[in-house]
Chain A
Amino acid sequence: MTFLRTTALASAAIFAGSAAFAGCGLSGGNVNILGNDFAAIQSVVAGAAECAGDGVTVESNLTTEHRDLQVAALTANPAQYTSAIVANSSIVPLINEDLIRPLDDLVAKHGQNLNPTQLITVDGKVMAIAFMANAQHLYYRSDILEAAGIEPPTTYEEVIAAAQKLEADGVMQNPYAMNSQTGWNLGEEFVNMYLGHGGQFFEPGTARPSINNETGVATLNTLKALADVSNPDFLTFDSNATAALWESGSLALATMWGSRAAPILDDEGSTEEVTSTTVLAAAPTVAGGNTPASTLWWDGFTIAKNISDEDAEATFVALLNGMTEDRIAANNDLAVWLAPGYTPGATAEGVFATATAGARPYPMIPFMGLMHTALGNELSDFLQGNESAEQALADVEAAYTAAAREQGFLN
């Protein structure tokens, strides 16, 4: 067994280990998992590794570079990895290139304990098993808002008004922050806000962009208004920056990832005053819409096409062993789990509220990634006040069109 990530999760493995036995009832097979490198995935993979023995081998490669490896690694025949752990955006290239197999037969045979919501189906076929969820939502400081006589905001208009009031009252300068770093983060903010405005990214059934319209302009104006109540450095704000700002107590309102709630609320890096008054709320709605201006994300596993059926079955069973009820219960606070055995804690409130309020999943469209990149790269000029909203949206469409032509989505 070459699985290396032993120390950090050894205790978790021992805790959940009693239920597992070598081989997990398999007669053989090779399991090799590619995925991102963070605690929740490490815990799932540690569970899968317990199946090693009796002719079953379990290896893994958890790396921050997994997205850039997965297509080449699964294209090789036989594939280097039997499973790739993906999210709703990174599953797309694997589906586009036809590199993962439908899991319906394996779900029928081994998946009795899965929640039906864990099955990710594309065109009626199960292509991935989701195990955790994430979303951006609102964080606010109840003490500051109360002192200023502001009701907890539920729309972005109220967020902007609250922030402006805090600035005008001299309570706090730049009281709001979002992950608005140029690139992927800024693209994600636009996606969230645009869907909140009820926008459509593409003309239905085609890859033609349709964002340069009134909805697009309204979205950009909302983002601009939010940027105006943010720190002037907002174009450099990634998750680490916003979380640090929040922990230092210099923010009253923020839109941040649900997965950052646990480290923000723990006793490290922040004062009691901040953590005890931080409230996690659903992502606000915008422009009179009903659905929160946020997208829901899942992480799940897929199984490679270019491997033997025996390896595929072994991989499926091993990964399910990584999300047994005992194991999920033992690692309850590592993520917002979708698998049975999870009891939502305080840190999951924001994601749950956002999902319950009907936020939409991040679109699993083949060319969404190209649109996202174009958005991330072309919007900062507008937010800095150097060009008009229409020009910025026209730039995005032009950049996207060039990319989509090259990828064969447009002619």
Chain B
Amino acid sequence: MSATAATRRSPALIAFSTGFVILWVVLASFPFLWTLWGSFKVQGDFFSKADWMNALWGTRTLVETGATFTGQAYHGAWVEQDFWRSALNTMIVVVFTVIVSLTFGTLGGYALARSGFRYAFWLLMIALIFRAMPHITLVSGYLLPFFEWNLWGHLPTAVIVLVAINQPFTLWMLHSFFLNIPKDLDESAMVDGCTRFQAFRHVIVPVMWPGVITTGLFSFLLAYNDFAVTAMLLSQENQTMVPKIASFLGSTFEEGNVMFAVAAVVSATAPLFVLVMFFQRQIVSGLTAGAVKG
């Protein structure tokens, strides 16, 4: 592969670039590692007002549980509070949101990237303006009609709303990626007698994965981290993780189980790790570099 030749460079540059990445990795991961460590402590240590070192040594944890590490928070969240149910709901919402968003988005983004007409541009612009609408206002507007038509509280409702809210972003991102795929590819296929859809299906789909997976990653994160939509549109038995975590935090009047929330957040990160490790290969491999030649 040509990359070896193209990436040859001076040791100083390598040192600088690697050092920079290491610095970034530390900055990005430190709060998380701190949280991971702290999730095995009691609240009095992790959120210590007395001395932050308590979070390292587990001073209060030792007093309250008899050991410096405790799985209480995990037990509380997963066993006592049925966090698995919210995790399951999140999985359903996220999987369907990503699939539907990407299906709609690839078709639309491809059309926008290949249409030469002015209205395509204006459509993109309008989609962008749509995206500027604060979600919280949108969601407040949905409530009454959803209650009236009995749509409120169900998982499919949340999925379709998340898809719609996410659509401008997906369209723009995929449109930008499709612009990078040479036009000759699908046009030559059409010269060979394919219809537009066949060209899309057989020529574009195989080379679009890096863009699609990156877009999918963001659709995923949006649905996964969403609070405004899921907290307001889902009933309790369909509650997803983030509103559930919010309910662990307590309110002005009531003390919450903040450590349950911390443990829940930490354990919710593990599947993401697997996911990213799996898909980063797809991002790196199967690239247009090879396809352009054809």
- Answer yes or no: A and B touching, Cβ < 8 Å: yes
A contact residues vs B (CB 8 Å cutoff):
2, 4-8, 36-39, 60-65, 68-69, 72-73, 75-77, 80, 134, 179, 184-185, 238-240, 243-245, 247-250, 257, 259-260, 263, 267-270, 297
Complex Cα gap A37–B236 (Å): 10
| CB <8 Å contact, A248 and B49 | yes
Q: Which of A76, A184, A244, A268 contacts B144 (CB 8 A)?
A: A76
Interface size class of B (residues with CB under 8 A): 35 or more
Q: Which of B191-247 contact A (CB under 8 A)?
A: 231-232, 235-237, 239, 243, 246-247
Instruction: Report whether A38 and B236 are in contact in the complex, using a CB–CB cutoff of 8 Å.
Output: no
Which residue on B lies nearest to A37, using beta carbons? B247
A62 touches B236 (CB 8 A): yes
Q: Which of B147, B235, B252, B256 is close to A184, meaning CB atoms less than 8 Å apart? A: B252
Q: List B contacts of A72 (CB < 8 A).
A: 143-144, 147
- Complex-state Cα separation, A77 to B150, whole angstroms: 10
Taking CB atoms and an 8 Å cut-off, the chain B residues in 130-172 that contact chain A are 140, 143-144, 147-148, 152-153
Residue of B nearest to A264 (CB): B255
What residues on A are CB-neighbors of B258 within 8 Å?
Answer: 240
Q: Is the CB of B255 within 8 A of A240?
A: yes
Q: Kindly state the separation between the CA atoms of A134 and B255 in the bound complex, as whole angstroms.
A: 14
- The one of B82, B144, B237 that contacts A2, using a Cβ cutoff of 8 Å: B237
Give min CB distance, A340 to chain B, whole Å: 23
Residues of B within 8 A of A64 (CB): 231, 243, 246-247, 249, 251
B143 touching A69 by the CB < 8 A rule? yes
1/0 contact string of B66-83 vs chain A (CB within 8 Å): 000000000000011110
Question: Closest residue of chain B to A181, judged by CB?
Answer: B252
By CB atoms of chain A within 10 A, which of B64, B143, B258 has the most?
Answer: B143
In the complex, identify which listed stretch (B18-26, B40-48, B101-109) lies at the interface while the others stay far away.
B40-48
**Given A7-B79, A38-B253, A268-B42, A248:B50 Cβ within 8 A:** yes
Residue in chain A with minimal CB distance to B239: A63
The residue from B247, B251, B255 contacting A263, defined by CB atoms under 8 A apart: B255
Instruction: Say which residue of A5, A75, A257 sits within 8 Å of B252 (CB atoms).
Output: A257
With a cutoff of 8 Å between Cβ atoms, the chain B residues found around residue A257 in the complex are 252-253
- B148 engages A76 (CB within 8 Å): yes
Report the bound CA distance from A372 to B140 in whole Å.
21
- Which of B235, B250, B251 meets A61, CB within 8 Å? B235
B253 to A, closest residue via Cβ = A259
Q: How distant is the Cα of A39 from the Cα of B85 in the complex, in angstroms? A: 19
- Shortest distance in angstroms between B251's beta carbon and chain A's nearest beta carbon? 6
Q: How far, in whole Å, are A172 and B242 apart by their CA atoms in the complex?
A: 40
10 extra interchain contacts, Cβ-Cβ under 8 A, other than A185-B252, A245-B49, A260-B253? Answer: A4-B82, A4-B85, A5-B236, A61-B153, A61-B235, A64-B231, A64-B251, A75-B144, A248-B50, A257-B252
| 6 nearest A-B pairs in the assembled complex, by CB-CB distance | A248-B49, A76-B147, A72-B143, A269-B44, A38-B254, A263-B255
- Complex contacts, B49 vs chain A, CB 8 Å: 244-245, 247-248, 250
Chain A residues with CB below 8 A from B175, complex form? none
23 A–B contact pairs at CB < 8 A?
A4-B237, A7-B79, A8-B81, A38-B250, A38-B251, A60-B236, A61-B153, A62-B236, A63-B239, A64-B246, A64-B249, A68-B140, A68-B232, A72-B147, A75-B147, A80-B147, A185-B252, A239-B250, A249-B50, A259-B254, A268-B42, A268-B43, A268-B64
Partner of B250, one of A73, A240, A267: A240
In the complex, A76 Cα to B150 Cα: how many Å?
Answer: 9
| Nearest neighbor of A270 in chain B, beta-carbon distance | B44
Q: How far is the CB of B244 from chain A (nearest CB, A)?
A: 9
User: In the complex, A381→B251 CA distance in Å?
Assistant: 25
Chain B residues positioned under 8 Å from A269 (CB to CB): 42-44, 60
Give B257 Cβ to nearest chain A Cβ, in Å.
10
* Also in contact, A239 and B253, with CB within 8 A (given A7-B82, A73-B147): yes
Interface pair B48/A63, CB less than 8 Å apart: no
Residue picked from A39, A63, A244, A245, most chain B C-beta under 10 Å: A63
The 0/1 profile, CB within 8 Å of A marked 1, for residues 15-35 of chain B is 000000000000000000000
CB neighbours of B80 from chain A (8 A): 7-8
Output the least CB separation between B119 and chain A (Å).
36
In the complex, what distance in Å separates the CA atom of A247 from the CA atom of B43? 11
Residue of B nearest to A268 (CB): B64
CB-based contact B253/A61 at 8 Å? no
In the assembled complex, which residues on chain B have CB atoms less than 8 Å from the CB atom of A267? 64
For A248, give its contact among B48, B231, B237 (CB under 8 Å): B48
Contact A239/B252 with A63-B247, A65-B232, A270-B44 known, Cβ cut-off 8 Å: yes
Q: Which residues of A contact B79 (CB under 8 A)?
A: 7
Residues of B within 8 A of A184 (CB): 252
Residue of A whose beta carbon sits closest to that of B54 = A248
CA distance A245 to B252 in the complex (A): 15
Interfacial chain A residues near B42, Cβ < 8 Å:
268-269
**Shortest distance from the beta carbon of B118 to any chain A beta carbon, whole Å:** 40
- A249→B60 CA distance, assembly (Å): 14
Also in contact, A63 and B85, with CB within 8 A (given A248-B48, A270-B44): no
Give the chain B neighbours of A39 by CB distance below 8 A. 254
Least CB distance from A367 to B in Å reads: 20
**CA of A244 to CA of B256, assembled, Å:** 12
> Pick the contact of B236 from A63, A73, A263, A268 — CB < 8 Å?
A63
Contact (Cβ within 8 A) B251 A36 = yes
* Residues of the B chain whose Cβ atoms lie less than 8 Å from the Cβ of A37: 247
A8: chain B residues at CB < 8 Å are 80-81
Closest to A250 in B: B49
Expressed in whole angstroms, the Cα–Cα distance for A96 and B192 within the complex equals 69
Contact yes or no, A69 B232, CB < 8 A = yes
Q: How far is the CB of A142 from chain B (nearest CB, A)?
A: 20
Give chain A residues whose Cβ lies under 8 Å from the Cβ of B47.
244
Q: Mark B85-102, 1 if CB is under 8 A from A, else 0.
A: 100000000000000000
Q: CB distance B44 to A247 under 8 Å?
A: yes
Are B144 and A65 in touch, CB under 8 angstroms?
Answer: no
CA distance A217 to B265 in the complex (A): 45
In chain B, what residue has the closest Cβ to A61?
B236
- Using known A-B contacts A68-B140, A69-B143, A249-B50, determine if residue A134 contacts B253 with beta carbons closer than 8 Å: yes
CB contacts (< 8 Å) of B81 on chain A: these are: 7-8
* Contacting residues, chain A, for B256 (C-beta < 8 A): 240
Q: How far is the CA of A249 from the CA of B48 in the complex (A)?
A: 11
Q: Please measure, in the bound complex, the distance between the C-alpha atom of A5 and the C-alpha atom of B140, giving whole angstroms.
A: 27
